[in-house]
Amino acid sequence: MVTPPGVPPALTLVAQRFADTSRGIVSFHLHRVFDVHAGFSKRHEDLVMDGVYSDGAIVKVHVTSYTIDGKTADAATLTTLVQSYEHPVPGAVFNVPFDPRYIAAYQYQSAGPQKIAFTSSLRDAAHGNGSFSFDGTGNVVSYTYQPNVLPPHASYGEVTDKRSQALPGYWAIVQETQEYKGTYGPFPGAGTVEITFSDFRRFGDLQSALRSLPGS
């Protein structure tokens, strides 16, 4: 793997470790809680689902429950949610700066021992500015960034992800926190998203993993 000139030397190790430890067919369990409020308006979502990764990309999900303000989401809303995970809009999924495929889209500088800062001028939600920290063997353990494009009504946003060894030789996000601030009409508002990933399982082929999903 070749990195651009001038990047911190550790980036080569980190990117190679990411490539080596994010491959394979792996199932996971997800719990997402979303809260937003502005003035007298508020919204609460609670989502529980299972899914399958192929080399780190989601290929299939099964929703166990999805409620909005305590009520089960209707069929159209549920379909839109599933599509957003299985077929994300181009530029919507964050391109992590330690993935060898995306290194050319970022600029880097050392931010201290085992920490690298990154920036990108690409104006979409798939890129942003922040930093990541890694352990002594090059595994990224956490990263925080501000997306270059924010959700509607937001004027500030920050995302923090924690990674760990979910399975032998396989690293993944286990916790994500998103925080947003902005306005809705004349009212200031704020939103948070808390996502927990758990119950990782490795499979030898994609069809076996898909059959393991609830409802299959």
Is pLDDT above 70 for 92? yes
Q: Per residue in 15-68, pLDDT tens?
A: 999 999 999 999 999 999 999 998 888 999 999 999 999 999 999 999 999 999
pLDDT tens, 67-83? 999 999 999 999 999 99
Angle at 126 between CA 152 and CA 10, to 5 degrees: 140
Report how far apart, in Å, the C-alpha atoms of 102 and of each of 22, 47, 120, 165 are. Answer: 15, 30, 11, 22
pLDDT tens digits, one per residue of 118-133: 999 999 999 999 999 9
Q: What is the pLDDT of residues 149-197, one digit of tens each?
A: 998 889 999 999 999 999 999 999 999 999 999 988 888 999 999 999 9
Displacement of CA 211 from its chain's centroid (Å): 24
Distance separating alpha carbons of residues 104 and 101, to the nearest angstrom: 8
Which of 61, 1, 57 has its CA nearest to residue 24?
A: 57
Q: Which residues touch 95 (CB under 8 Å, ≥6 apart)?
A: 101, 102, 105, 126, 127
Helix (H, G, I), strand (E, B), or coil: what is residue 46? strand
